[in-house]
Every structure is written in structure tokens, then in C-alpha cells.
Amino acid sequence: MTIKGALAHGSLLTTETYLKDFDNSEVDTTIQKMFDKSYIKEKAVKLLLSLSEEEYQEVIKKVRNYRTTQFSS
């Protein structure tokens, strides 16, 4: 996925205009976090812990169903 795609911009010029105001190191750090599995896992755990028990069970059920269908193919 490209930055343009992730930001849902219609053109590269829009993305470049938007990003020129940011410090490159800030952008690099943010993009690195987006693909850092340990960061993603930490965020996922925090999100799961914020759910009610019912919501949590619903998510777990969906994950189990997804994994079953993905790995049984």
C-alpha cells in the first residue's frame, strides 16, 4: 500500500502537498509504526481491553471463524 492509498488521496500531488508540512522524521516514524508488528499487537491488546465482555467475545469468535476458514483452504 502506498501513502497516497493509505491517505485516500486522489493524486500524488495532494499527498505531497499534505506531507510537505511534516518533518520527514515524523512521517518516517509514523510509517514505521504502521508496519511494526509489536506496535500493532500492543494497540490491538489495548483495543481488546477497552471492549465489554460481550464485545470481546464477539471479536474472538470472528477471529476464530476467520482463522478456521483461512487455514482450512
All three cell numbers of 36: 511494526
pLDDT tens per residue, the chain (73 residues)?
A: 566 566 666 777 877 787 777 777 877 887 788 778 888 888 899 999 999 999 999 999 999 998 888 877 5
- Letter string b/e over residues 21-60, b meaning 16 or more CB atoms within 10 A of that residue's CB: eeeeeeeeeeeeeeeeeeeeeeeeeeeeeeeeeeeeeeee
